[in-house]
Amino acid sequence: MSRWRELTGETSGEAYAARFAALARSGKDVHGEARFCAALVPAGARVLDAGCGTGRVMIRLAELGYDCVGVDLDASMLAVARRQAPELPWFQADLAEFDPAALGIAADFDLVVAAGNVIPLLAPGTEATVIERLAVALRPGGLLVAGFGLDEAHLPVPPSITLPEYDTCCAAAGLTLVDRFATWDADPYDGGGYAVSVHRR
């Protein structure tokens, strides 16, 4: 079972969306992830939002002209995404079993983004499998971008994967580290409790 399911019971879609809507109303920038991705690949590029949740990142990328596909395991989150952007392709699937061909989509993404602590909230022991499946979905030269917490202060669950472990999984999947940042605003990584990593296939 995924740590996300243990944490939420997969019933938190509405509450999650409401929290970000309130942040946006308060004037907080809620589009850092989309802006970060848009700086890496040109408009029109194919983007897979892995663990897309309520679609906040993907909907923004679609508005910016990207060709997006969203995948998530949580039906409550996807219900919100589909209501907010019914014209976009949303798929319910476990990332550990993610198979683009089975869903009828091409595995030639320019960028795969896993925002919002997707990696640490996977079912323990499936991290390497998920990263391999995401890597296979990339075209040669494509990028995997993942941002996640590394300590108690940046996670809703106890830490589960270190950066060296994540890099090892990526290397095993044929991915090379390109860059690493401390935030989605591309602040330099200094060893803190949150990291945004960019790997290339």
Residue 141, SS3? strand
What's at 166, amino acid-wise? Y
Which DSSP helix (H) or strand (E) runs through 198? strand 194-200
pLDDT at residue 188 in the model: 96
Cα Rg of the chain, angstroms? 15
Residue 39, SS3? coil
pLDDT digits (tens, 9 = 90+) for 54-74: 999 999 999 999 999 999 999
Q: Which CATH architecture has domain 3-200?
A: 3-Layer(aba) Sandwich (3.40)
Residue 154, SS3? helix
What mean pLDDT value characterizes the chain? 91
Q: Where are the domains of the chain?
A: 3-200
Q: Rounded CA gap, 86 and 71, in Å?
A: 14
Q: Rounded CA gap, 108 and 199, in Å?
A: 16
Mean pLDDT throughout 78-85? 95
User: How many helical (H) and strand (E) elements, i.e. helices and strands, does the chain have?
Assistant: 8, 7
Q: Rounded CA gap, 130 and 101, in Å?
A: 16
- Report pTM: 0.88
Pairing of strands 67-72, 194-200: unpaired
